[in-house]
Structure formats: C-alpha cells, structure tokens
Amino acid sequence: MALRFLSPISRHALISAPVAMTMCLGVARAEPAAESKTAPAPLPLSVQPSAQESVPPHPVPSPVPAMTGTPPAAVAAPAPKKSREVPAPVYAKVSEDPTPTLTPATFLATMRMAEHYKALADAGGWSQVPAGLTLKPGDRNPAVAALRGHLVMTGDLAADATHSDIYDDTLVAAVKSFQQRHGLPESGLVQRLTVAALNVPASVRQRQLAATVERLIGSKFPFGERYVVVNIPSATVETVENGAVARRYVAVVGKPDKATPSVETRVTDVNLNPTWTLPVSVIKNEIIPTMRKNPGYLVKNHIRMLGPGGVEVDSTTFDWSGEKAVNYTLRQDSGFDNSLGQLRIDMPNKFAVYMHDTPSKSLFAGNVRFHSHGCVRVGQVKEFAAWLLQGTEGPNGPGSTWGPIEIESGIATGEKRDIKLVKSVPVTFVYLTGYATPDGRAHFRDDIYGLDTPGTPAPSAATDVVTTGSITPRAVIKPARAGQPAPAATDLVPAARPVTSTKPASAPAARPDTGHRTPAATPVEGAVERAFLPPGLVGRRG
C-alpha cells in the first residue's frame, strides 16, 4: 500500500533491489555482478583444481516489468536449481619423481647419508635464514647469501654457481629441488614452510636419517617387480613397478594419537561395497552413550543392530541403560556414506589395518593429511585398485580386466563382492622421516609421531579390530599380564559376531605383553572414532 505514495523512480528502485539482492545471495554458485565483482582468493599452492571443475555461467537476471500507473506485484527471484552432481574431488599435488621412497638400496644409501650429515653437523651445519623471509624470482635480499650457502651444502646448488644477492633462475631451480626433497609444493617461492625446513639444524636431519636406519634394521620386505609403499610421514601411497614409481597417490594416515603402524604384508583382495561392523570398543565407548541421548542415532546413520542368528533388533526401543549392546552386532550398510567408502583393500596383518576409500574426500586436498584412526585412506582409490588387479580376470570372463570403469560398474550394482588378486602384491607401511635414494639425495619429512627421539616406543598393535561384511572378524588377543605366558589359542575371542562371511581368516600370532603400554597405541580404523558419522552429528567422518 505504501508504494503508491512513492514516485515512480522510487518504486522502481524498491522493486529492483530485492531482485538484485536475491541474484547475489540466492544463487549458490553464481558470480557477483560485474560492477561489484572481486577477484577470487587463490587456491593454496598444493591444491590443483580438477580438470572436471568448471566455473558456473554468469546468471542472467529476470527482467523487471516496466513501470506503469498501477504498481506491479513484487517480482520474486527464481528458485535456485540445486545441482545433483557431486563436486569433483581436489587432491593435493604430490611429487612426480619416479624414484621410489623405498628400494632394496634404501638402507645402505640412508646409512651413508647419515654419516655425511653427521660430518656437516660436526662442521657447524648451515646458517639460518630470517624467519620471515619471502622471495620470488628476481628479488634482491641480503639473506640470499645464506640461502645459497645452505643449498650448496645440501647438494641442491652447484658450488661454482654465481654468487649474488639476487634470487635468480638458477637459485629458483635449486629451491625447487630442495622443496621436492622435503615434500613441499615445488613452487620455487621462498615462503613460511620452505623457510621452516631450511632452518632445521643439520644435527636434527642427521638424527632423522639415523632413526630411519634403525627402523629398517631387520626388515624382510619382499620387494619384487611390483609392490606398494606407504610412507606414513609423507601421507602418500606409491605403486612401484620394475624399480620405478608407476603412480603416487595422495593418502590420509593416522593422526598423532591414533598412529598408523609399520606393516609388512601382502594385498590379497579388493572388496567392493563393503559393510562395516563396529568394533566392541566403539559400541562401548561411543554408541552406548550416544544412544542414551539420541535413540534415533543408529537408524539415521544406516547402522543395523543384529541379535543372535543375525535377526535385526529395533535399536530405538532397545534398553541402552546398561552395556548389553556389546553382545550385539552393529553393522553399517554399504554405500557411498559407509565409513570405508565404496572400496576396501584387504591386506591381512596383526594390526588389523588396511587401505580403503572414504566419503570425506575433501581431506585429500590438504598439505597436512593426518586424520585417520590408523588405516590409510587412498585418493583415487579405484585407479589404485585397478593397478593391484592387473592380471586378474575381469567381470566379463577370460580376456577381460578390472579397470576403473569395471570397478565403478561393480560398485554401481550395490552388491558386496570380494575380488581375489591372481597374485598378491607386497605392501609396506613405513615411517621414513629421513631417507636417501640411490641418486645420492637426502629426503626429509616431519616427524609427526615423534618417533625420531631416542627411547620413543613405536605404535603397538590394536586390541580390537574392525571387520567388514565380507571379511570374517579376526580374533582379539587377550593381553597377558606381566609374568604370565603368552595367550593360548583358547584365549582368542571374536571381536564381533560376523553377519556374513565368504572366507575364513586365520587368527594373528599371539603377541606377549612386554610389560609396558604405549601411550599412543594404534587403534584400528573407526575405533573410538567419531569420524565414521555424517558431518554435524558428532565430528568428522572418515
């Protein structure tokens, strides 16, 4: 009613304003109008957008009716169309160096490098560069001299290179070499992370190399023509074929208080559409307290409660006041939202850890990727699985193969399927914070678990296990008390009642108690983890 008391110009402004505001705020992915458009914030150097991503078209505003003597009705902006397409994942950029992190020559090469760095440390090491130093090509700075001296000592820059205070192309190339050896984005820009790595003393680097030598002593890993290396501090997965890296994948590994353990075993199967059976520890420590507050919690997260004989129980009417639930099987349905994602890599080992997909693919974009509870989440896991399945008969019989498309099609059926590798592939989870490659270069990563400090115990085996609907639960070992013998076979009890099982799994070897407990014992994926839940309920999912 008040509009008729305004002039035509004022009425036009009032009617147009909501339209313009709605176009800016109501369209989720639309760019702002040209006259108010600002440049988007640049992505982090380590994050490269996927080729499948595209910039949405500029919205075309609806025309505003011409003003007449009669005030027009308010013009409502069209409802934004919600895209059903899942955004393409973004992965942190990792090195394309074909030299594997771990080879049969790594032990001796690292031992020699440790001796070299000891000599550098004994000679006084290198000079520090200013903490706030930033350099881009062409910059002139007095600190360039210290930078040159450091890179000459570490072999990234030739000793006879031109000396000046200009950050020239030769020095930029040397910095990229340094960044590659330290797992940093190879930008050639000297910024905070690069400066921090430059200022680590030579004595610390020597200690990292020496610690790696100690951890590799006694390794019996069967390298072979094809094998997989997961370097935990690098948070990467390498597929090695004929002595070279066929592909290096971004990974998410255990957080410092839920460390991924060192493992040497073999990949035996690829599981499509796995279900996830919750460990007893999760039921006791997480589910029971949560269900007392929110009885609909399991239903909302597609977790079934199964009693004797696999009969489903109504979790919303179950008595959660006590701890009777630990005697039931809680199983999360397979699907895109499953904690294991759509694919699991089976690699039997005493720690009950493995590699798998994840719904939380946004974690693959970060430089810091220590978020899991012991297992290794693999970016582009379907391509990784296809590499593992080379030589294994595909879904269409003799002559067919398991490529990413065939794996995707198998997942699309929604059926659980275990694909046995025609030949198992050796896999090792290693903790290499400092190591040397046969080409005489030293590589360093952050000591995320603090294991390089003398006397720090390595992560120990879990006492609870995660199972899937495809894999029979492995046994849980009742730990022996100090002075008692190792547990016998009769002491082995299942962690959870299996719902379906297509193949038996042998119990792990008994592990006697050593008289102490590691503070950060490695639990299995999901154990005491709120991460298997959808976002917004308890915490991050994984």
From the list 211, 178, 222, 216, the residue with the least C-alpha distance to 197 is: 178
The DSSP bridge partners found for residue 167 are none
Whole-number Å distance between alpha carbons of 417 and 471: 11
**Cα angle for residues 327, 346, 235 (degrees, 5° grid):** 105
Q: The tokens 């290096």 sit on which residue?
A: 248
Is 375 tagged catalytic? yes
Strands 376-378 and 355-356: parallel
Q: Which amino acid is at 34?
A: A
361 and 323 Cβ atoms separated by less than 8 Å: no
Helix (H) or strand (E) segment spanning residue 117: helix 106-122
Helix (H, G, I), strand (E, B) or coil at 205: helix
504 and 439 Cβ atoms separated by less than 8 Å: no
Is 356 tagged catalytic? yes
Helix (H, G, I), strand (E, B) or coil at 280: helix
CB atoms within 10 A of CB 535: 12
Whole-number Å distance between alpha carbons of 478 and 475: 9
For the chain, how are helix, strand and coil distributed in percent, rounded to 5?
25, 15, 55
Point out the catalytic residue in the list 150, 371, 373, 375: 375
CB atoms within 10 A of CB 151: 22
Alpha-helical segments (H) within 395-492: 404-412
66, 265, 464, 476, 509 from 492: Cα distances, Å: 82, 22, 12, 6, 10
Q: Which amino acid is at 193?
A: L
Whole-number Å distance between alpha carbons of 18 and 417: 54
Point out the catalytic residue in the list 356, 371, 373, 443: 356
DSSP code per residue over 475-532: EEP-PPPTTSPPP-GGG-EESS--S--SS--PPPPP----S---TT--PPTTTT-GGG
Give CB contacts under 8 A, 24+ apart, made by 173-177: 175/147, 175/151, 177/151
Whole-number Å distance between alpha carbons of 260 and 477: 19
Helix (H, G, I), strand (E, B) or coil at 286: helix
Q: Which amino acid is at 123?
A: A
Which residues participate in catalysis according to the annotation? 356, 375
